[in-house]
Structure 1
Amino acid sequence: NEEASKLVQDLFMNDYFRVYTNEDIIGVELGAALKNIIALGAGALQGIGYGDNAKAALMTRGLAEISRLGVAFGADPITFLGLSGVGDLIVTCTSVHSRNWRAGHMLGKGNSLKEVLESMGMVVEGIATTKAAYELAKQKEIEMPITAAIYEVLYNGAKVEDTIASLMQRDGKAEA
């Protein structure tokens, strides 16, 4: 509802908080949820010692996965280039304040999922989101190798190092 969106925008905007509206509810919601999966992976990469280039590659290819799944459910692919896509992905994958990044970092350091959850003491949204996205991707036959790898770590006890190796050994292909 454009009128309601504008009203909420006007209520919240001020000198230090800028609000944008977006009619793509599906894209905004999926971007907000699915970025948590990629943040788990970004934290795990850093936890095992990978650097910024690996994280950037993960985030970029993760955004491609997010977009593929979103488009399959009717989202506008342009939404994922905005604040609820790239913007949210950047902060969640790079901030030590992100619960999902911290959980992934602990997994990368060798902690079990049980240990991670006990020490976090709060909800790590990306864990349940990984399962949901994995199942939705299978239903829609959408390729989401990063999500599948993180699913294997979370739900089947795969080692982070082994899942990275399996991702890197996939057949080469064109980016676009």
Structure 2
Amino acid sequence: MKALSQNKTAVIGAGSWGTALAVLLAGKGEEVCLWGHNASHLEQLAAERQNARYLPGVAFPDTLQACTGLAETIQGARVIVMVIPSHGYRQVYRRIVPLLASPVLLVSAVKGIEIATRMTMTQVMAEETPGDTRVSLGVLSGPSFAEEVVRAQPTAVTVAFAEEQAALEVQQLFSTEYFRTYRSSDVLGIELCGAMKNVIAIAAGISDGLGFGLNTRAALITRGLAEMTRLGVAMGADPATFAGLGGLGDLVLTCTGNLSRNRSVGLKLGSGKTLDQVLEEMTMVAEGVKTTKSCYNLARDRGVEMPILEQVYQVIYEDKPCSAAVQALFSRDLKQETS
């Protein structure tokens, strides 16, 4: 295999979504280096030329390399795509910072919020590299299951950067005949949407697990969107963002799709399993479990009422029966719909 150029893309995180994005970029001829924390797994990827653990049968394009060294991965990269779960994001980013030698575009493709700080991933990066002119920080998010992206199913997402030129560059990098990218300047709004929709998806899964129907699911999606928007606006995000791909689009997908990990968590909780049992059965991270705590604390900090979030938190972290959570939601005081 030929050596990678000095204008490659580095993808940090070799799970299903990181692998899908790496395959997408390499499939259009971009030179990509994929890194993960598990060296033996990366060696397996390099030998088999696929990620059999997460995306079996999806062959790696020739321009995609699995790299075991983080320095090797970062060297010469113009764009670094971060696909590390939120609970380990800061630790990995700290390892990357000393390796940065030239201006880079850092793209978070993670839908989570750090528990201890209540920060989004671009906020984490900004805190770790304050005033660093080498880095431009942005996010890629939207309704996009990895399994469908790698099979070239038409998909649309949003790329957000504060700087228009950075957004344009990343938008063009990811755009293909089947993967359409829109751009935005509302970085915070896109990140909050991506994190909070996972919590509502757990609620939707609980509803399905309890045997409720489409009426209930529609109510959860609609009122969940209202909660997401309310918190976003309180934090300074653009309310219009929540009606877009990163908000409503991703919310609908995650609350209804059978490939949704977070809906699956809720489905199992609703059917009577404990959280420990659910997590023990999972091979991939469901960000919504940890994000429920982050968002719950954010809402309390901001004094924002989020009843669905509150009930999901109580189910997950206080062992509240799912049926009691539903009863609590429907016994609340009657209100105007817009409140």
The normalised TM-score by structure 1 is 0.98
User: One-letter code of the match for 2:207?
Assistant: L
Please point out which of 99, 105, 122 is paired with 2:267: 105
Question: 2 CA distance for matches of 1:106 and 1:173?
Answer: 31
| 1:92-131 matches, cutoff 5 A | 92-131=254-293
2:185 paired with 1:23:
yes
Question: 2 CA distance for matches of 1:170 and 1:72?
Answer: 22
User: One-letter code of the match for 2:323?
Assistant: E
State the 1:118 CA deviation.
0.2
Unaligned runs of 5+ in 1: none
State the 1:10 CA deviation.
1.3
2:214 paired with 1:48:
no
Question: 2 CA distance for matches of 1:18 and 1:24?
Answer: 18
Please point out which of 146, 149, 152 is paired with 2:311: 149
Corresponding residue for residue 335 of structure 2: 173
State the 1:17 CA deviation.
1.1
State the 1:123 CA deviation.
1.4
Question: 2 CA distance for matches of 1:32 and 1:22?
Answer: 14
Secondary structure, counterpart of 1:57 in structure 2: helix
State the 1:15 CA deviation.
1.4
Question: 1 CA distance for matches of 2:294 and 2:179?
Answer: 32
User: One-letter code of the match for 2:164?
Assistant: E
Partner deviation per Cα, 1:98-153 (whole Å, 9 max, x = no partner):
10000100000000000000011321110111111111111111000000000000
State the 1:56 CA deviation.
0.6
Partner deviation per Cα, 1:7-66 (whole Å, 9 max, x = no partner):
111122121111000100010000001000000000110011011110010010000110
2:233 paired with 1:67:
no
Corresponding residue for residue 91 of structure 1: 253
User: One-letter code of the match for 1:44?
Assistant: I
Q: Which has the larger Rg?
A: 2
- Choose between structure 1 and 2: higher helix proportion: 1
Corresponding residue for residue 164 of structure 2: 2
Higher relative contact order (CA 8 A, sep 6+): 1
User: One-letter code of the match for 1:168?
Assistant: F
User: One-letter code of the match for 2:319?
Assistant: G
Question: 2 CA distance for matches of 1:34 and 1:133?
Answer: 7
The normalised TM-score by structure 2 is 0.51
User: One-letter code of the match for 2:180?
Assistant: R
Unaligned runs of 5+ in 2: 1-162
Count of residue pairs the alignment pairs up: 176
Corresponding residue for residue 161 of structure 1: 323
Secondary structure, counterpart of 1:20 in structure 2: strand
Corresponding residue for residue 301 of structure 2: 139
- Choose between structure 1 and 2: higher strand proportion: 2
Runs of 4+ in 1 over 6 A off after TM superposition: none
Please point out which of 176, 187, 194 is paired with 1:32: 194
Aligned-residue RMSD, C-alpha: 0.7
